[in-house]
Amino acid sequence: MSLLISDDGWLNVARRCPSPNYNPRPQTPISLVVVHNISLPPQQFGGAYIEQLFTNCLNPNEHPYFAQIAHLQVSAHLLIRRSGEVVQFVSFLHRAWHAGASNYLGRENCNDFSVGIELEGADDIAYEDVQYQQLAMIVQTLQQHYPSIAQHITGHSDIAPQRKTDPGDAFDWSRFWQLIGQE
Helix extents (H) in the chain: 49-54, 66-69, 129-145, 156-159, 173-179
Positive or negative, the CA dihedral 149, 132, 183, 137 is negative
Q: Write out the catalytic residue numbers.
A: 118
The helix/strand/coil state of 176 is helix
Parallel, antiparallel, or unpaired for β 107-108 and 86-88?
unpaired
**Beta strand spans in the chain (E):** 15-16, 22-24, 32-38, 78-80, 86-88, 94-96, 103-104, 107-108, 114-120, 153-155
Q: Are 27 and 146 in contact (CB under 8 A)?
A: no
Parallel, antiparallel, or unpaired for β 32-38 and 153-155?
parallel
